[in-house]
Amino acid sequence: MFGKLLKNDRGQAMAEMAIVLPILLLLLMGMVDLGRIFHSYMVITNASREGARKAVLGCTDVIIRERVANTTTQLDNTVLETSISPDTSLRKSGDLVTVQVNYKVTLMAPLINTMLPNPITIQTATTMRME
């Protein structure tokens, strides 16, 4: 009698897969989102450095913003914000110039985006001394 019950376990693997698969997919999507956030952070960090370098060489704000946009071509430039301080007219040799770049990353994972703010705003700033 117990032999028949033990041999009939064909549906067990399907039930286990139905329980485990959503968790595995959630973990996978979370790792992809984390990778996208880290990649975006690295790109905008480099862009703020490039913009600050242009600023200390005496370039205008338009050229600095253009350099930041050219450095971040693999990101969505519609959600990219660049702020430069101080203004072009107030910069002189020896002053500090700060270029700050903000970027919003939209999460893709279905359950994670309900627990975290969506989109996630990441920002970097680079400060250099005018030459």
What pLDDT, on the 0 to 100 scale, is given for residue 3? Answer: 56
Confidence (pLDDT) at 69:
93
**DSSP secondary structure, 6-53, as one string:** HH--HHHHHHHHHHHHHHHHHHHHHHHHHHHHHHHHHHHHHHHHHHHH
Q: What is the pLDDT of residue 13?
A: 79
Q: Where are the domains of the chain?
A: 10-129
* Nearest of 107, 129, 122, 128 to residue 45 by alpha carbon: 122
pLDDT in tens, the chain (131 residues): 555 555 666 678 788 888 899 889 888 988 998 999 999 999 999 999 999 999 999 888 999 999 999 999 999 889 999 999 888 778 888 889 999 999 999 888 777 767 778 889 999 999 999 88
pLDDT given for residue 131 in this prediction: 81
Cβ contacts of 48 within 8 Å, gap of 6 or more: 68, 99, 100, 101, 124, 125, 126
Quick one: pLDDT at residue 130?
86
Q: Is 130 helix (H, G, I), strand (E, B) or coil?
A: coil
pTM of the model: 0.80
